[in-house]
Amino acid sequence: MTVYYLQNELKAAAQSAQTGVYSALYLEEIASRLGLPAQKLAVSQVSATPFEADDVVLVGAETLSPEVVSALQAASAKGTLVIGFATKGAEALFGCTVKGKVTQTDLYETVGTFTAPHSVLPANKNVALPVMADVLVTEGGKVQATVQVGDQLLPGLVAGENTYYVPFDLPYVVLKIIQGKPVPEGPSNYFPVGRVPDGRALSYECDSSQPLADLYLLMLENLLYSRKLPMLHVLPVMKDGVTPADLLFFYGGDDDNTSAELDERASQIMFAKGLPYHINLMPGSENGDYTVDKEGFEKIIARGHELALHYNMTGVPFTEESFRQQMGTYMATYPQLPISNVAHCLANVGYAEYARWQAALGVKGDGGRQGTLNLADINAFNIYDYGFGTAFPHFVYDDADHGSERLNFVGIPMTYYEPRIGGQYGEDGEKLHLCADNAGYYGQTINLFSHPHYVAFYSGYDSTMTLRAFDTILNHCAAKGWQVYNAGTDELCLWWMERDAATLTANKQGATVTLAGDSPMVVKLPACVDKVQVDGNEVAVTKKTIGGLDYALVVVSGKGEHTVTY
């Protein structure tokens, strides 16, 4: 029971000569996100691979040779599921004929919209997904979803005998939505660099109130569902070590070099509420001049809260040297390397530079991915939006000139910016309830981002609006009976890396799970499973519907290898 994702070594090696990326590389990230028992397979090795009936093969926008097509046909005939994404030269394999192509004229143009019934895409709301790629026009096969291109209604998902065919490069679409596009230098009259929402690839005509990239992955998960594959869950275990979380909220904000007293008071208030908190500390000058001294730093850390660097790129060149210089002042002031940072005013330039440069400094992630703007107010509050298409952390891929390398660095979306209830934001909490309901349905990680200014009654601001927002969303979850994991940004970042480093292999008796760290992990098993043993001991099974799909959840704990049987 292995999910193979094909890679063309020749294409992967030629990245620096290409415009854009070799999109099939992103199948690795998709497999990791879904928690699949996955394995990379070179296209040149397909003919020599002894596929089993319960295996799956994912094929990107490749042009396959007759020999590879023949090998995949033979595998499919004995039960192997083959899923292709704009794959060419394989009409006999997928049972449909390519009759033409709708060509994308710009790299980030939305060519059309993909729609699927609930049986294919079990979302909690019907939504059209953007297709930001060429669309091959096919004929034949069983059409299960469509792509609307202007007045044309084209096949969007074609089912065959143990095959599915998506006539566009879905991995590349997901990559573009999540990572966004390069950010040019911003307006010089205020910011010397652009704000991160400038990098949003999604058209503002798209309904980004839904996690559009995540929904593409949910569709793929549903296509695999009948295979009854074990998977690693995208959420951690509650602090009791035995209960799977239903959703996760993480909390953080930037201090903008305001005052040490503000940061201390915000930490005290969040601690009194029993909540984690992450504060990014901004230097006041090129010499550092942070408002929080080492003693104040250690007091906040002692509460279990997190501190990191708040880069100020609004007065200096956006260069690797500027990143290195500010990290130098931070390390000269404080005793520990930050784990996940944010840039002041979410400023950014380029594509993956912010990730590459920070990864080289030992930083693990960046939490400054706010994907939408209120054009009437650049600092508008109470914004809940999936502007980069996902609620989840994701590993950042470098540009083609750097080999499209998967960096050891996590981008973390800022899904809910400055939540509020009361005053001009209303008393009903409708947006907060919607956020919680989506998170509960899909099993999401959600950032409730709040500056210390608005937690700690700074300069006369009525912080009850922020604190009531936290109470409102958590009380709503409690009323639903959901297990909520509350975390800091660093905690989520490090856990996500541990999850990615864990391995899962499957067989007919169960699975082998190898944990790279000390954090327990949740394994999603087929819903029909009632009794499970981990390392020979029977363990509790939690039945849960996640994203419209039914699973049995079990917890695996302890660094090293574990045997799961069912």
Over the stretch 475-504, which tens digit does the pLDDT of each residue have?
999 999 999 999 999 999 999 999 999 999
Helix (H, G, I), strand (E, B) or coil at 86: coil
Closest CA relative to residue 472, chosen from 518, 510, 425, 540? 425
Q: What is the pTM of this model?
A: 0.96
Decide which of 231, 265, 294 is a domain's last residue.
231
Question: Looking at the structure, do residues 281 and 314 belong to the same domain, yes or no?
Answer: yes
d(CA 426, CA 215): 30
Cα of 389 vs its chain's centroid, Å: 8
Question: Looking at the structure, do residues 286 and 217 belong to the same domain, yes or no?
Answer: no
Range of the domain at 37: 3-184+212-231
The whole-number average pLDDT for the span 230-240 is 97
Question: Looking at the structure, do residues 103 and 165 belong to the same domain, yes or no?
Answer: yes
- DSSP bridge pairs for 158: 143, 165
d(CA 2, CA 70): 20
Check which CATH number belongs to the domain holding 152 and give it: 3.40.50.880
Residue 403 has pLDDT above 60, yes or no: yes
Read off the pLDDT of residues 310-337 as tens digits, 9 standing for 90 and up.
Answer: 999 887 888 999 999 999 999 999 999 9
Question: Looking at the structure, do residues 422 and 524 belong to the same domain, yes or no?
Answer: no
Question: Looking at the structure, do residues 290 and 309 belong to the same domain, yes or no?
Answer: yes
Check which CATH number belongs to the domain holding 255 and give it: 3.20.20
Question: Looking at the structure, do residues 303 and 176 belong to the same domain, yes or no?
Answer: no
pLDDT of the residue at 346: 85
Residue 187 has pLDDT above 60, yes or no: no
Q: Which residue is it, tokens 């930083």?
A: 363
pLDDT of the residue at 9: 83
Domain assignment of residue 192, yes or no: no
Domain assignment of residue 246, yes or no: no
Domain assignment of residue 190, yes or no: no
pLDDT of the residue at 194: 65
pLDDT of the residue at 277: 98
| Measured torsion, CA atoms of residues 451, 456, 305, 476, in degrees rounded to the nearest 10 | -80
Question: Where is average pLDDT lowest: 68-82, 161-175, 179-193?
Answer: 179-193
Question: Where is average pLDDT lowest: 39-53, 189-203, 268-282, 340-354?
Answer: 189-203
pLDDT of the residue at 192: 56
The whole-number average pLDDT for the span 182-203 is 72
Read off the pLDDT of residues 119-164 as tens digits, 9 standing for 90 and up.
Answer: 999 999 999 999 999 999 999 999 999 999 999 999 999 999 999 9
Helix (H, G, I), strand (E, B) or coil at 438: helix
d(CA 536, CA 508): 16
Domain assignment of residue 162, yes or no: yes
Question: Looking at the structure, do residues 91 and 226 belong to the same domain, yes or no?
Answer: yes
Total of domains in the chain: 3
Question: Where is average pLDDT lowest: 196-210, 312-326, 369-383?
Answer: 369-383
On average, the pLDDT of the chain sits at 94
